[in-house]
Amino acid sequence: MRRPSIRWGSGLLLVVLLAVAVIGVAVGGGRATDRAYELEQRLRCPVCKSVSIADSPSDTAQAMRQVVRDQIAAGRTDDQIIDHFRARYGGWVLLDPPMSGSTLALWIVSLVVVASGTTWFVLRWTRRPEPREPSTEDREMVAAALEEIRMRDPIEEQP
């Protein structure tokens, strides 16, 4: 009777070990792929212009993805790979350009515009207009209305 339980136990142990090995290879092998994907997300597709090479279906993006993978396999750092593409395509190839020079000026101008617009909006809607003094005509109208009300419904004066 012990024989079948040993077989089942051995089989289960074998399945667990194989699963651990497969998961280990998948996770360990995915590091270069994850790194490649992160780099591809940072690079703009020259054909699509507003899409990263990771998301673009164009032939140019596919070729650029292959260059990223080849350079990772060659042992290049992320900065070296980015510099390679910047040298070849110019600074616009970066989807998130560094804050320096003209891009810094654009950030500052846009922040100033947003801050100015917000300030104007808040001041416009929170300021109360100065109360106007009633004109002589307004006072006469109110006095006439009050007199008319008194005439219709006289209030008894209390002693």
Ordered by start, the domain boundaries in the chain are 7-94, 101-125
Q: Which range has the worst mean pLDDT, 5-14, 31-40, 64-73, 147-156?
A: 5-14
Q: What are phi and psi of 69, to 5 degrees?
A: -65, -40
CATH class of 7-94: mainly alpha
Report the half-sphere exposure of 82 (CA within 13 A, side-chain side): 17
Which of 49, 53, 52 has the alpha carbon at shortest distance from 66?
Answer: 53
Per-residue pLDDT, averaged over 80-98, amounts to: 89
Residue with tokens 């003094």: 133
Q: How high is the pLDDT of residue 77?
A: 95
Neighbouring CB atoms inside 10 A of 142's CB total: 11
Q: Which residues pair with residue 94 across a beta bridge?
A: 43
Regarding pTM above 0.75, the answer is no
Sign of CA dihedral 31, 34, 36, 39: negative
In order of 44, 108, 140, the CA distances from 99 in angstroms are 17, 10, 67
What is the average pLDDT value for the chain, to the nearest integer?
Answer: 82
| pLDDT of 30 higher than 90 | no
Confidence of residue 27 (pLDDT cuts 50, 70, 90): low
Q: Which residue has the higher pLDDT, 16 or 88?
A: 88
Return d(Cα 20, Cα 16) in angstroms, integer: 6
Q: How high is the pLDDT of residue 15?
A: 67
Confidence of residue 51 (pLDDT cuts 50, 70, 90): very high
Helices 78-89, 59-73: axis angle to 10 degrees equals 140
